[in-house]
Amino acid sequence: MRTHYSKELNPSMNGQKVKVAGWANDIRLLGNIAFINLRDRDGYIQLTFPKSKYPAFDQLKNITKESVLSAEGILKESNQAKNGFEILPERVEILSKSETPLPLDFSGKIQSEMETRLNSRFMDLRNPKVAAVFKVRDSLLSGIHTFMDEQGFIEVQTPKIVAAAAEGGATLFPVKYFEQQAYLTQSPQLFKQILMSSGLDRVYEIAPAFRAEKSNTTRHLSEFTSFDFELAFIDSMDDVLEMMENLITNTLKYVNANAKEQLDLLEIELKIPKTPFTRITFQETQKLLEKEGKTIVNDVDTEAEKMLGEIMAKKGSEFYFITHFPSEEKPFYIMENGEYCYSFDLDYKGEEMSSGGQREHRYPELVERIKKQGLKPKDFEFYLNAFKYGMPPHGGMGLGVERLVEKVLCLPNVREAVLFPRDRDRLVP
Ligand code: ATP
Ligand code: MG
């Protein structure tokens, strides 16, 4: 239906016949001339209709805002038009007429409530700035795929309907699975670990994960995209940290190189962090926060995360690792060393992006940790079996893709980074 997208047109094509298609973004009917500002995926095109040259001039008044049109005509260089050219259509076809009034003013001139925007997400996405978020997200994922591929990881897909919890029972969504009780997966953790004993010793997955988060926050979704990798034959957790920081810097460089236009539109100057990222232990974090009057016991709560973000920003670190958390605070699969364990969180501008660490690969120790956390080894037989017949030392991490997009683009809410967010109150659209 089109010969060119808006982006592919320019004044030097003066005199050429072209066919364009898109939405009627703006319509201005004057006595002897009419203008339609047509919007397509990439931008805007001015269609100009002098009454004397366009026989069906009177029918233009039937076109409503946001109707879908295709127009064929001659491109003409023009100083008055925004892009330096306009199209003088010979023929316009209304492919789909839009109803009025529109459910949403998506122009950005009026600030619409997020609720209203999400209810009419299809229309919200017609705002180029909203669409740009998803182009950046696409680029970020491409960057991740590229890096993982270069590092010799293979992409895998593990089950989303599962029998056991990886991250504790509180946030499980139950599913009736024929005669059995099943759950939606919270994380691919147990499966990617099982794969470490298979010989596929570098795997990654980018897939949905589900958590029944009880409270409504700006950083929790019921369904998020979890990017996980697992890496075998590591000497220590440091191998995972290094992989992680190279992954982040390479991915952000990729976004800078491939989504420049969208970053500019969103007025984002994406800084590439220097490696190595700052590493602070949980104990050091406690001390730093104590100086600011904030006491943390076992975990870095949301307020503490934010405060730490400010402290680190003053030191010039946007990305930093918190390492060596107290053993009881982290899931059973993490390797412990008495009081603390070989786990880390990667935080970015005061928010947790990722958790990871070295895993317990020794069967007896793993069984002990499961018991210590009040869980039954019997429930994890399918997982534990993989540790009995040759399991290499390994580690890995899980990262929330939406949180990374949120912080890269300085969005106020993680929901902005999902097309159709799911939270406690939202199941539609
Ligand atoms: P938080 O403490 O912030 O709730 P978590 O420690 O429970 O997160 P992990 O189990 O460590 O989360 O999951 C790994 C990563 O997955 C997190 O660092 C985060 O980026 C992402 N993630 C976890 N839960 C959610 C959620 N409900 N919505 C969006 N992203 C999430
Ligand atoms: Mg975590």
Tens digits of residue pLDDT in 293-333: 999 999 999 999 999 999 999 999 999 999 999 999 899 99
Q: What is the pLDDT of residue 215?
A: 86
The secondary structure of 343-362, three-state, reads EEEEEECCEEEEEEEEECCC
Those residues whose beta carbon sits under 5 angstroms from the ion ligand 2 are 355
Q: Which of 15-19, 54-58, 169-173, 401-405 has the lowest mean pLDDT?
A: 169-173
Pocket of ligand 1 (CB under 6 A): 167, 211, 213, 220-221, 224, 226, 352-355, 398-400, 402-403, 414
- Do residues 334 and 396 touch, judged by C-beta distance below 8 A? no
Distance from the alpha carbon of residue 172 to the mean position of ligand 1, in angstroms: 13
Q: Which of 4, 117, 137, 211 is catalytic?
A: 211
Atom 4 of ligand 1: nearest residue by CA position: 220
Centroid of chain to Cα 64: 34
Query: Which residue, 419, 373, 390, 410, is CA-closest to 168?
Result: 373
Q: What is the mean pLDDT of the chain?
A: 97
Buried b (16+ CB within 10 A) or exposed e, 120-133: beebbebbbebbbb
Burial class (CB in 10 A: 0-12, 13-18, 19+), 337: exposed
If you compute the radius of gyration of the chain from its CA atoms, what whole number of angstroms results?
27
Distance from the alpha carbon of residue 398 to the mean position of ligand 2, in angstroms: 8
Active site residue 284: no
Locate the DSSP E strands across 142-297. Answer: 154-155, 161-162, 173-177, 180-184, 202-210, 223-232, 278-281
Centroid of chain to Cα 371: 36
Is the bond leading into 393 cis (omega within 30 degrees of zero)?
no
Give the confidence band of 108 by pLDDT, cuts at 50, 70, 90. confident
**What are the tokens at 40?**
């397509």
pLDDT of 164 above 90: no
- Do residues 22 and 40 touch, judged by C-beta distance below 8 A? yes
Q: What is the pLDDT of residue 362?
A: 98
Q: Does an H or E element contain 194, and which?
A: helix 189-196
Query: Which residue, 79, 84, 16, is CA-closest to 44?
Result: 84
Percent of the chain that is helix, strand, coil (3-state, to 5): 35, 30, 40
- 134 SS3 class: helix
Distance from the alpha carbon of residue 98 to the mean position of ligand 2, in angstroms: 46
Pocket test for ligand 1, best of 187, 305, 355 (most atoms within 8 A of CB): 355
Give the confidence band of 102 by pLDDT, cuts at 50, 70, 90. very high
Q: What is the pLDDT of residues 262-301, one digit of tens each?
A: 999 999 999 999 999 999 999 999 999 999 999 999 999 9
